[in-house]
Amino acid sequence: MLGLMQEWPLVCHKIIDHAARQHGNREIVSRTVEGPIARTNYRNIRQRSLQVAQRLERDGFKRADRIATLAWNGARHLEAWYGIMGMGGIYHTLNPRLFPEQIVWIMNHAEDQALFVDLTFMPLVEKIAGMVKSLRKIIVLTDAAHMPATALPNVVAYEDWIAEADGDFAWVDVAEAEACGMCYTSGTTGDPKGVLYSHRSNVIHAMMAAMPDAMGISSRDVILPVVPMFHANAWGLGQSGPMIGAKLVMPGGKMDGASIYELLDTEKVTFSAAVPTVWLMLLQYLEQNDLKLPHLNKVVIGGSACPRAITEKFERVYGVEVIHAWGMTEMSPLGSLATMKPEYAGLTGDALLDIKQTQGFAPFGVEMKVTDDENRDLPWDGKKFGRLKVRGPAVAKGYYGGAGKEQFDAEGWFDTGDVAHINENGYMQITDRAKDVIKSGGEWISTIDLENMAVGHPDVAEAAVIGVAHPKWDERPLLVVVAKPGREPTRESILDYMKPRCAKWWLPDDVAFVKEIPHTATGKIQKMALREQFKDYELPAA
Ligand code: AMP
C-alpha cells in the first residue's frame, strides 16, 4: 500500500521561492568586482533569477544545457544559478584557479553552451573562448558602464541582458532526478571528472547541511561563505542559506585577512566557512592589528585537514566555535562534521581538541565505512585505518561520461580515495589520501598526522610529509617545511618537538626547508609535485 502523502518534488527553484516568500527582505550583501558593496534581498534575487531563466530560454537555451559560471561569490552569481536551474538547465561552476588548458578541456567535455563570467576573468575568457566549440554566448556579470572592450562575439552585459526580460516566467517543471548542477573534481592524476548534481540531491544536501549537528544555521545567522561557489557548491551554502533564510555576505574575490575581517565586522557575521589557508591569513591579521571577533559564533573549516593551532586559537583566544568538516565534490560536498555528541559533554582542554581534530561524524544521509585491502569492514575502534567508503542521496553514483567506474561498487559504495579510521562514537579521522600514505616496512604512516604535528612548532608556517625511497624500509617520511617569516627553525628543533608526540618509527628521517609548498587549485598540497621534486633525495644514514 502506498502512503497517502503528496508528491512534492525536491527541486531547487522551490528553495528560492521559499526564501522570497518567508524571508523576502533578508539581505544579500556582496563585495562586487567593480568595487562597492551591493545590497539586495531574497525577493529581488528570485525576481532576477526569473529574468535570467526567461532570457536564457529566449536566447534558445534548453533544458539540460550546461551553462558555465566563472565567478566569485556574489548575488549575481547566485541569481545565475537559480535562473539556470529554473529553466531546467545545469549550472556548471568553473574553478578559475585551474590552468587555462584545464578549463578549456573541462568546458569542451561538458559541452558548455553559455558562460556567466565576472569581470576579473575576462582576460582569461578572451584567451580560451575560441577553443570551446560549444560556447554560444558570454554574459559578463556587470552593467553597461563597466563592460570591457572585447573582440569576442556574442558578449553581453548581464544587467542589460536581464533588463530585456520582465520575469513573467514559470519555472520549468523538471523532475527531481534531473540534473541541475555540475562541478569537475580537480584530480591530481588523470583528467578531471564531472560530478552531476540533481535537484533532489541538492535539496536533500541543503537540509542535511543546515541541521543542528551539521552546520547548525538558521534565519538568525549572518553567513559569510568564503569557500567559493566554484569549490563544491560553497559547501552547499548557496542552497542551505536561502532555504533557512539567513542573511548572506558574499566576499567576491577578496579573501585576504583585512578584507574578510572588514566584512565580519561591518556586517556582524555570525557564521562562516572556509579552508584552513583563509583562516590562517585572518588569524595573522587579527594578531598583527590586535583585533577581536565579537559577532562571530562559529566557523566551519574543511577542504584539507584543519591544523590544531587554528582550532585552539579560534576557540581559546577569540571565543569562536570551530567545526572541522570533511567532504568531497562527489558528496555535494558535506560528509562529516565534528560537532559534539553528548558522549563528549564536559570534555575540556587537549581532550576536547583531540575530538575536534577528527573530521567528525556523518549526518543522516551519509553512510560511512572503512575497509581493508580485501574489502572487509574494519572495526570502529579509532585505530584501524583503511579505505573510506560512503553512500547516500547526495553522493555521486558515477561520473559524467562514465569515467572512474572503479570507484563505485555494486552495493552503491563510493571509494573516496581517503584513508581513515572511525572511533566507537562514529567520529572519523582522515589519516591520508590512499596514494599519499607512506608504507614503511609494511606498516602505514599517516602523513597528515605528521603534518599537523609539525605545524604545532612555533616557527613552522606550513609542512608536508612525503615518502622517499629507502633501501631497507621501502619508504621513509621526509618532512618538507616552510618557516614562518623571519624565523629559522633547525632540523633538530623540529624533530625534538615531534619526538614525544608520535611513535618512534613515524618520526621523519629528515627535514627539508623550502620557500614554498605547491598547492592545487582547491588549496590542497600537491604531493605529486613534491615527490617529483624530492625523488632523488638522499635520506641521512640512520
Ligand atoms: P574536493 O573534492 O576538492 O573538495 O576534495 C576532497 C578531498 O579533500 C577529500 O577526499 C579529502 O582528501 C580532502 N579533504 C577535505 N576535507 C578534509 C579535511 N577536513 N581533512 C582532511 N582532508 C580533507
Mind listing the pLDDT tens digit for each residue in 453-467?
999 999 999 999 999
- Whether 240 lines ligand 1, by a CB cut-off of 6 Å, is no
Handedness of CA 9, 90, 29, 239 (dihedral sign): positive
- Closest ligand 1 atom to Cα of 520: 3
Cα separation, 517 vs 455, in Å, equals 13
Confidence at residue 277, expressed as pLDDT on a 0 to 100 scale: 86
pLDDT for position 187:
62
Burial label for 433, CB within 10 Å (0-12, 13-18, 19+), is middle
Residue 302: CB within 6 Å of ligand 1?
yes
Q: How far apart are CA 25 and CA 221, in angstroms?
A: 14
- How many angstroms separate the CA atoms of 362 and 342, rounded? 15
Residues in CB range of 290: below 8 A, 6 or more apart: none
Q: Is 303 in the pocket of ligand 1 (CB under 6 A)?
A: yes
CATH T-level fold of 13-253 = Rossmann fold (3.40.50)
Distance 480 CA to ligand 1 centre (A): 20
- Read off the pLDDT of each residue in 201-216 and give the average, rounded to a whole number: 98
CATH fold of 438-533 reads GMP Synthetase; Chain A, domain 3 (3.30.300)
Question: pLDDT grade, residue 479 (50/70/90)?
Answer: very high
Mean pLDDT of 363-367: 98
As a whole number of angstroms, the distance between CA 126 and CA 97 comes to: 16
Grid cell listed for 177:
532526478
The answer on pLDDT for 263 being more than 70 is yes
What is the best residue among 182, 399, 430 to mutate for testing ligand 1's pocket, by most ligand atoms within 8 Å of CB? Answer: 430
The domain locations on the chain are 13-253, 438-533
Buried b (16+ CB within 10 A) or exposed e, 141-159: bbeeeebeeeeeeebbbbb
Given a cut of 90, is residue 127 above it in pLDDT? yes
Q: Which residues of 218-245 are buried (b: 16+ CB within 10 A; e: fewer)?
A: eeebbbbbbbbbbbbbbbbbbbbbbbbb
CB of 359 within 6 A of ligand 1: the answer is yes
For the chain, give the mean pLDDT: 95
Does the C-beta of 273 come closer than 6 Å to ligand 1?
no
Distance 303 CA to ligand 1 centre (A): 4
CB 61 within 8 A of CB 131: no
Whether 24 shows a pLDDT value over 90: the answer reads yes
> How far is it, in rounded angstroms, from Cα 334 to Cα 236?
8
pLDDT at 528: 87
What's the average model confidence in pLDDT over 347-376? Answer: 96
CB-based burial label for 497 (10 Å; 0-12, 13-18, 19+): middle
Over residues 22-27, the mean pLDDT reads 98
Looking at residue 439, its pLDDT comes to: 85
* Residue 458: per-residue pLDDT: 93
| Per-residue pLDDT reduced to its tens digit, 379-408 | 999 999 999 999 999 999 999 999 999 999
Give the least confident one: 319-328, 426-435, 473-482, 518-527.
Answer: 518-527
Residue among 79, 267, 330, 462 flagged as catalytic: 330
Q: What is the dihedral of CA 286, 287, 290, 295, to 10 degrees?
A: 30
Give yes or no: 40 in active site. no
Which position has the grid cell 539540460? 64
Helix and strand totals (H; E) in the chain: 15, 24
CA atoms within 13 A on the CB side of 328: 25
Give the model's pLDDT for residue 112.
98
Separation between Cα atoms, residue 452 and residue 407, nearest integer Å? 28
Specify the 3-state DSSP secondary structure of 252. strand
pLDDT band for 367, please (50, 70, 90 cuts): very high
Find the 23 Cα to ligand 1 centroid distance in Å. 33
pLDDT band at 189 (very low <50, low <70, confident <90, very high): low
- 327: closest CA among 411, 240, 236? 236
**What is the rounded distance in angstroms from the CA atom of residue 358 to the CA atom of residue 237?**
22
Q: What pLDDT, on the 0 to 100 scale, is given for residue 494?
A: 97
- Can you say how many angstroms the Cα of residue 259 is from the centroid of all Cα atoms in its chain? 20
DSSP 226: -
Confidence of residue 442 (pLDDT cuts 50, 70, 90): confident
Band of pLDDT at residue 376, cut at 50, 70 and 90: very high
Residue 330 bears catalytic tag: yes
Catalytic annotation present for 488: no
The number of the ligand 1 atom at minimal distance from the alpha carbon of 330 is: 2
The string of pLDDT tens digits covering residues 60-108 is 999 999 999 999 999 999 999 999 999 999 999 999 988 899 999 999 9
Instruction: Please tell me if the CB atom of residue 304 comes closer than 6 angstroms to any atom of ligand 1.
Output: yes
* Cβ(339) – ligand 1 distance below 6 Å: no
What does the pLDDT look like over 42-56, one tens digit per residue?
999 999 999 999 999
491 pLDDT exceeds 70? Answer: yes
Q: Is 360 in the pocket of ligand 1 (CB under 6 A)?
A: no
Q: What pLDDT sits at residue 373?
A: 83
pLDDT band at 435 (very low <50, low <70, confident <90, very high): confident
Give the H/E segment covering residue 272.
strand 271-274
439 is known as an active-site residue: yes
Give the side-chain half-sphere CA count within 13 A for 259. 16
- Which residue in the block uniquely carries the three cell numbers 552503491? 412
pLDDT level of residue 143 (50, 70, 90 thresholds) = very high
* Residue 11 pLDDT level (bands cut at 50, 70, 90): very high
- Residue 144, pLDDT > 90, answer yes
pLDDT of residue 188 exceeding 80, the answer is no
Catalytic residue among 142, 185, 270, 416: 185
- What tens digit of pLDDT does each residue of 236-256 get? 999 999 999 999 999 999 999
- The reported pLDDT for the residue numbered 443 is 80
